[in-house]
Amino acid sequence: MDVPQPESRAIICRKFALSYGASRLPNLPKIRNGFEQIADQYDRHAALEQEVFSRLLERTSFHRVLPGLILDLGCGTGSGSAQLKQQFRKARVIGMDTSMAMLSRLKRRSGILKPLKGVCGDIGALPFASRCADMLFSSLTTHWCPDPMSMFAEFRRVLKPEGMLLFSTLGPATLQELRDAWAVVDPRVEPPEFPDLMEIGDALVSAGFREPVMDMDVIRLSYRDLQSLLAEIEATGNSMLIRGWERRAGQEDALEQAWAPYMQDGKYLLSFEIIYGIAFGPQDGQPVKTAAGDVATFSVDALRRGRKVP
């Protein structure tokens, strides 16, 4: 797949950012505070997040180099970091999250035989050295970044050449039943819009990643009552993505009636479109197309190896 020209890249960036609905995201302090508040209850409600992590973990079998350092970006309570350490016993696993309350739970999972390290940081400005990681792993976190192209540029910066990027994110059909029901009850409650698989794949190529492979599936959850459904959206932090969420108070009866077409066997259904991405870090010197022209990056070691000794 060819790297897009500068004009194409600009179009991709604008379309991708608009699809992410970046202006709808709460600011980073609000996101951090939100996850601080739900850290105690998160694992009890995060069945979807745990299932998606497991499905993404299966895709690590495509790795080309046995990883020495794995970064789990948006690690939450560290459940996934522990699974990565279990699968790659000789690797160092560092979990990064914006919430210290989440990271305190990762620390509890660490032990002498399976040590884990936690780092507090922002996925859009990674606190790691360039070309340090053999594997970047990020499950259901990238949609929290308001500047996705800068985020992918950061991923490329910290990933070694031939290193592996694996991530999962939310696609356009996510919360479709909620979107349709609220449109009837109160259009001012707006669930988020997410980019589709092709837009994300184009963004990866534009950021300079090699051999991206994208796929998706839809996971449909069922709940015994609407209150359980709404409580889980809040307990996992997804309510922060919904503009006007606070307006739900007092509208549950109307929402139940509007949800009737989306019920099955007396259960309330809620869909999540999950997009999975795999890509590899570019080799030394592979240029990235930017508005200022081609930019090629070389490590000092690569330049030294390429220098002829007289």
Any domain includes 34: yes
CA distances from 125 to 101, 131, 150, 154, 287 (A): 20, 14, 8, 7, 21
- CATH number where 85 lies: 3.40.50.150
**Which domain covers residue 207, as residue numbers?**
6-174+193-216+273-283
Per-residue pLDDT, 1:
43
Any domain includes 294: no
Question: Which among 83, 159, 96 has a CA at the least distance from the CA of 123?
Answer: 96
- Which single residue is written with the structure tokens 């992410």? 20
Domain count, the chain: 1
CA distances from 169 to 132, 150, 172, 175, 226 (A): 24, 16, 10, 13, 25
Question: Residue 293 pLDDT > 90, yes or no?
Answer: no
**SS3 state of residue 217:** strand
Per-residue pLDDT, 7:
42
- Which single residue is written with the structure tokens 């594997």? 135
Any domain includes 186: no
* pLDDT band of 307, cuts 50, 70, 90: low
Rounded-to-integer distance, Cα 158 and Cα 240, Å: 28
Average pLDDT over residues 252-260: 94
Any domain includes 150: yes
Going 152 to 155 to 159 to 162, the CA torsion angle's sign is negative
Any domain includes 292: no
Pairing of the two strands 133-139 and 117-120: unpaired
Beta carbons within 10 angstroms of residue 39's beta carbon: 19
Any domain includes 72: yes
**Six-digit token string for 263:** 């019920």
Beta carbons within 10 angstroms of residue 190's beta carbon: 17
Angle between helices 100-109 and 28-45 (to 10 degrees): 40
- Which single residue is written with the structure tokens 């992918």? 152
Q: Mention every residue, 6+ apart, whose C-beta is less than 8 A from residue 219.
A: 48, 51, 52, 271, 272, 274
* pLDDT band of 290, cuts 50, 70, 90: very low
Question: Which among 192, 170, 172 has a CA at the least distance from the CA of 182?
Answer: 192
User: Which of 37-46, 64-73, 185-194, 301-310 shows the lowest mean pLDDT across its residues?
Assistant: 301-310
Rounded-to-integer distance, Cα 8 and Cα 6, Å: 5
Per-residue pLDDT, 284:
72
Rounded-to-integer distance, Cα 50 and Cα 243, Å: 25
Read out DSSP for 229-247? HHHHHHHTTGGGGSBTGGG
Question: Residue 113 pLDDT > 50, yes or no?
Answer: yes
pTM of the complete model: 0.87
**Six-digit token string for 90:** 């000789």
Any domain includes 124: yes
Any domain includes 54: yes
Per-residue pLDDT, 79:
96
Question: Residue 18 pLDDT > 70, yes or no?
Answer: no
